[in-house]
Structure 1
Amino acid sequence: MVKAPKGYRHRTRKLLKKDVRERGAVPALSRILVEYKEGEVVHIDINPSVHKGMPHRRYQGKTGVVVGKRGRALIVKVNLGGKEKILFVRPEHVVKAGAG
């Protein structure tokens, strides 16, 4: 038997798949250029075509609060299993809460 892969993106084929009409390598500028302030609530929505600053798949769909910035990335605090996790996520993988 072959051992199951244990990579960072294993078992993500369906989870990290774009819709047919969204396919293409260029991420939307409207998502990258949004300014985020500390305390804003954001949803983590992973863009599979951008590998830099991509959070782990377990955080897909989670909601967190922007705590600060580190370079181009946002520092986002997320609750997961009764614990607070701090993620460093690029703006391509984040959407403002209430903005869709």
Structure 2
Amino acid sequence: MTDTKTISDAQQYHEARNAQLKADRLARSAAAVEANMAAMKAKGAEMRAARAARKDADIAAHKARLEQSKIDAAQRKASRMQAHNDRNAEMKKAA
């Protein structure tokens, strides 16, 4: 008779088993939450790095446009001065 379980023993076994299964589910859920949080943190770091790289590229492009604008302005000024000098030379020849 020692190998047969009474209803009380079976009930205790069932409750213990259910408690263990619940603990296992909670542990898996907690592990999944931790993994998701780690993945989100990594993704956030990746996004911040990409945003910083984009910002640096935008700043570099802006500096390049400013530099090109200065070069273009200097060329226009030189062209105007040359046209002015040419006009003065023509007027001196005509005079």
- TM-score band, normalised by shorter chain: under 0.3
**Structure whose residues are more often strand by fraction:** 1
Max radius of gyration: which structure? 2
Q: TM-score, normalised by structure 1?
A: 0.14
Q: Which has the higher helix share?
A: 2
Q: Normalized against structure 2, the TM-score is what?
A: 0.14
